[in-house]
Amino acid sequence: MSGTEDLLVEAADLAAEIGHAPPPALLDVRWRLSGPPGRDDYAAGHLPGAVFVDLDTELCGPPGRDGRHPLPDPAALQAALRRAGVRQGRPVVVYDGGDGMAAARAWWTLRWAGHRAVRVLHGGFPAWVAAGLPVDTDAPDPAPGDVTVRPGALPVLDADAAARLAAADGSVLLDVRATPRYLGETEPIDPVAGHVPGAVNLPAGEYVTGGRFPAATDLRDRFAAAGVTVDRPVGAYCGSGVTAAQTVLALHLAGRPDAALYVGSWSGWVADPTRPVATGPTPG
């Protein structure tokens, strides 16, 4: 089972690590779904030594038929991470504005790219400020990194694989969007409402509060209630693969490092009008 020591870090513990050489690389990935970009938040104050990395343009590819936040081009991702000073073997800590979603997607992306030593600051920037720790407004100029992106270190679902997982006996595809979107009652972002046939609804807000995760035992119980057990393959999707990355992180915390992310998620699914759409409270 995965522990939290290699996935999450508390503000006080991170402050102690920063005081020792060499410190972890700090990536500020603050982001809002409807904008504006988090760069202004970063300029107003950030963790000392942190470098801003934009989720939309640097950690994801351009939106299109693969969804609103598709996988990045490996070469472009490598260039962005090297610009941010990420080096082979050097630990990385990512943080966001507190809900934990952008940080989880950054964590997932770096892990998918083959950089294993990545943690999320638990509670994000608000937790750092609440702990009375110092904030900086100077943008550092880190020495260029040497990280090599090797895609595929975490499992990924495309639309066909997501459909097979949702339809297979003994497997679970989690739809972690708000229930009205799953039911097809409303869709504030994408052009079609509903869910992938066979997917089970488990809204992320039911097990992550304010960007903070409950104990692993509580996560396991909550996932088990949705049908996720140790012997059942599991994947997750949301609107565009950001919130679902947080679900994958929660599954890692619960001891399921094999959990797959449907990166295209609902925005990628409905980009093809021939794909089936289910509505209502039942998965099928």
Q: What is the predicted pLDDT for the residue at 4?
A: 58
Count of beta carbons in the 10 Å neighbourhood of residue 101: 27
Integer-rounded Cα radius of gyration of the chain: 18
Q: Report the candidate in 247, 281, 273 with the shortest Cα–Cα distance to residue 262.
A: 247
Q: What is the predicted pLDDT for the residue at 19?
A: 86
pLDDT in tens, the chain (284 residues): 344 559 999 999 999 999 888 899 999 999 998 888 899 999 999 999 999 999 999 999 999 999 999 999 999 999 999 999 999 999 999 999 999 999 999 999 999 999 999 999 999 999 999 999 999 999 999 999 999 999 999 999 999 999 999 999 999 999 999 999 999 999 999 999 999 999 999 999 999 988 899 999 999 999 999 999 998 999 999 999 999 999 999 999 999 999 999 999 999 999 999 999 999 999 98
Catalytic option among 238, 251, 253, 270: 238
Residue 29 CB contacts under 8 Å (≥ 6 apart), including other chains: 38, 52, 53, 54, 55, 59, 94, 95, 96, 102, 103, 105, 106
Q: What is the predicted pLDDT for the residue at 37?
A: 82
Please give the angle made by the CA atoms of 47, 252 and 168, to the nearest 5 degrees: 140
Longest dimension (CA), the chain: 55
Active site residue 60: no
What's the pTM value of the predicted model, to 2 decimals?
A: 0.96
Type and span of the H or E element at 222 = helix 216-225
DSSP characters for 86-117? Answer: --TT--EEEE-SSSSHHHHHHHHHHHHTT---
Domains of the chain by range and CATH?
8-130 (3.40.250.10), 156-269 (3.40.250.10)
Q: What is the predicted pLDDT for the residue at 38?
A: 93
